[in-house]
Amino acid sequence: MRKFVFFALLPALLAWAAASHLGQASPVSSGAVLSPAVAPQPGDLFAIADLHGDYDKAVQSLRLLGLVDEALNWAAAASNVTLVQAPKWGSRVVQVLGNHDVFSLAGDTRYVSREEVMRLGAGALARKAHGEGAAGRQLQDEAPPPAAAGGAAGGGAAGLSGDPGGWPAEAQAAALAAGYAEWNRLLGAGEAFGDALRDRALVAVEGEGACRTLFVHAGLVPRTLRELVAAVDASSGGPGAGRAGGAGGAGGAAPSDLPALTPKAVARINAAAASLLARCVGGVCRFWGGGADAALPADPSLVAAVTGNEGPVWNRVLALGEERAVCAAADRLLAAADGAARVVVGHTVMRDGRARARCGGRVLLLDTGMSAEMSDAPAAGWVCRAGGGGGGADKAGAGEALRAVLYADGLRQAV
């Protein structure tokens, strides 16, 4: 079975969907479709970090790792690369919850492109003008862009195309208002994008043997893991997760003093996080603030453990902490994760555009700032192959172990 782990892929797909709503194609810019640097084999583990909505870099990274073909079909079989279809073809896609996901659910759009929001709003206004649903979208797709904005529905924003910066001020304002409303609608309860964000994993442990890996978005330290498990137990009324170690797990880990990150414990943590984020409706998270926003109370310790500065979506200790302390913390975390070989995190941008390994590879900092809105570094992705398998010719060598970050500029960084 192939296992694939992605960080922060959904914002790119949301931008893709927004373009589709406007009746526009989602072309990949020149040079974005690369030749694969590796041919996936059963059991391979992959990770892509912090795309920040960059569709081209998403495509480049997927192509680089051999996960999709030139037509963006899932490379494992003739299916589209979607979260619904990938598992059908023996692949497992895990998306890890990040700070910008929480921002989006909470209605915090400070990092959202105004231009994208205006396009989203113009599409929503056009569908409203033509009638809701598929028929409205078809009419919108077939209709030519208006030659001028004056007098059109929604202050002239409906159906406009091109650079929103060149739209009349009235059309921009109307499109922005409609766009923010549409953004919150798409992230609402029962909507595909919103439900996908809420269902993201706060913590994931994937892979086997030398590829067994602990994933969190920003970071994790022993104290925050203990607090997180305690908060989950308190909120659910369930038993503690127990202690790690015992027989040593797949990696032969030494016993840990931390709660064990068994599959059941990880599932409980992620279910508690999803349940908490289900209280974010219409751009308001009802576990923050007072008055009506507190109508659905939540355990403050769980709120802090999931969304707070010390939690997995924000904590930068593994990235920025002193080496000896980081390595000691990593060893305890990996023992708790049944002897995982490493912890992989994103969130903290490596300004040289290259991933950074710490503690002899037991900590991997994978956010290379590839998005054009960040450092515009080359597209990148990490692959782990335990080795010993069969199969045909492979750019990495048939059956050979492989643990490397691959880059669109041709670099292969062993980590």
Q: Give residue-wise pLDDT tens across range 312-369.
A: 999 999 999 999 999 999 999 999 998 999 999 999 999 999 999 999 999 999 999 9
Low-confidence ranges of the chain (pLDDT < 50): 1-2, 8-26, 30, 76-87, 134-154, 241, 246-253, 290-295, 390-394, 396
Cα dist. 290→155, 294, 302 in Å?
Answer: 36, 5, 17
- Taking the C-alpha atoms of residue 335 and residue 261, their distance in angstroms, rounded to an integer, is 9
pLDDT at 38: 82
Residues 275-312: tens digit of each pLDDT: 999 988 888 887 765 444 444 556 889 999 999 999 99
pLDDT value at residue 43: 81
Identify the pLDDT of residue 289: 55
Return the pLDDT at 224. Answer: 93
Give me the residue spans of the domains in the chain.
Answer: 2-107+193-414, 120-183
Which of left, alpha, beta for 114 (phi over 0: left; psi -120 to 50: alpha)?
Answer: alpha
**What integer pLDDT is reported at residue 11 of this predicted model?**
40
pLDDT at 142: 40
Q: Let me know how long the chain is.
A: 415
Which 8-state DSSP code applies to residue 124?
H
pLDDT number for residue 282: 80
User: Residue 316: which of 229, 220, 201, 224 has the closest Cα?
Assistant: 220
Provide the CATH number for the domain formed by 2-107+193-414 in this structure.
Answer: 3.60.21
Q: Which residues of 272-294 are buried (b: 16+ CB within 10 A; e: fewer)?
A: bbbbbbbbbbebbbbbeeeeeee
Which has the closest alpha carbon to 2: 201, 207, 200, 199? 207
Closest to 2 (Cα-Cα) out of 38, 39, 43: 43
Residue 244, pLDDT score: 56
Nearest alpha-carbon partner for 176 in 213, 121, 214, 136: 121
CA distance 252 to 247: 7
